[in-house]
Amino acid sequence: EIQLEHAKQAFVQRDNARTGKVTAIDFRDIMVTIRRHVLTPFVEECLVAAAGGTTSHQVSFSYFNGFNSLLNNMELIRKIYSTLAGNRKDVEVTKGEFVLAAQKFGQVTPMEVDILFQLADLYEPRGRMTLADIERIAPLEEGTLPFNLAEAQRQKKASISSSRPVLLQIAESAYRFGLGSVAGAVGATAVYPIDLVKTRMQNQRSTGSFVGELMYKNSFDCFKKVLRYEGFFGLYRG
């Protein structure tokens, strides 16, 4: 994920003393500026309080990586919880129980579990966690995808769209060109007679028995006479 790589680079830039740590304020600024799309309102409010997991509020690079990895793995966290709670949402799970269940999956580190329960305890310090705590950290609607998976799916669709057969793309272009041509022809068919009548009215000369008598009384009379004496195609001769 590009944003995560940018966040890591920002961490290194904020670490002016090269201690491998940044302050809680720096940690919050990086997350809010670059990783806001993975933050729920609750997590965003708790960034400074959670920073580093210690009272010193210094965030190490390993904690920073673990924090971001946890937010990217919240769907897996849900799945691990469901192996312990089944279909129930109110089962309280301890950290020890969760660590044992997570070992079967192998993609969640002990540090991620520590951060998970640390965030849950910031809402209500009881050392246990329910599905409500998980949803407070990553409240995804059922059936939706996390940001990283949704982005991958979007890119996959774009790739499929760009790899359509060349003949199909040519056919679509020809179809659009044909529609444009038809629309242009219809427009010209309707407008040209109007322009002809307008031109004839402007250029008409005196005629008839009396001096000053005009050939056409008005635009409608002009149209009627052209149609009568020159036929339908006379409207398009100029």
38 secondary structure, DSSP code: G
| Bridge partners for 21 per DSSP | 60
pLDDT of residue 28: 93
User: CA-CA distance, 74 to 108, in Å (whole number)?
Assistant: 10
Burial of 14 (0-12, 13-18, 19+ CB in 10 A): middle
Task: Compute how many other C-beta atoms are within 10 angstroms of the C-beta atom of residue 179.
Answer: 10
Rounded average pLDDT per 10-residue block, the chain, 238 residues: 85 91 93 90 91 76 94 93 92 94 89 94 92 85 47 59 67 74 68 75 62 71 80 70
8 Å CB contact between 40 and 120: no
pLDDT of residue 217: 76
pTM: 0.57
- In angstroms, the Cα distances linking 63 to 107, 167, 219, 221 are 16, 52, 84, 88
pLDDT of residue 142: 43
User: CA-CA distance, 173 to 170, in Å (whole number)?
Assistant: 5
Q: Give the closest residue to 44 by CA, choosing from 136, 117, 129.
A: 136
User: CA-CA distance, 79 to 64, in Å (whole number)?
Assistant: 23
Domains in the chain, please, with CATH? 1-163 (1.10.238), 166-236 (no CATH)
Residues 6+ apart with CB under 8 A from 130: 85, 89, 90, 91, 92, 93
Q: How many helices (H) and strands (E) does the chain have?
A: 12, 4
8 Å CB contact between 119 and 58: no
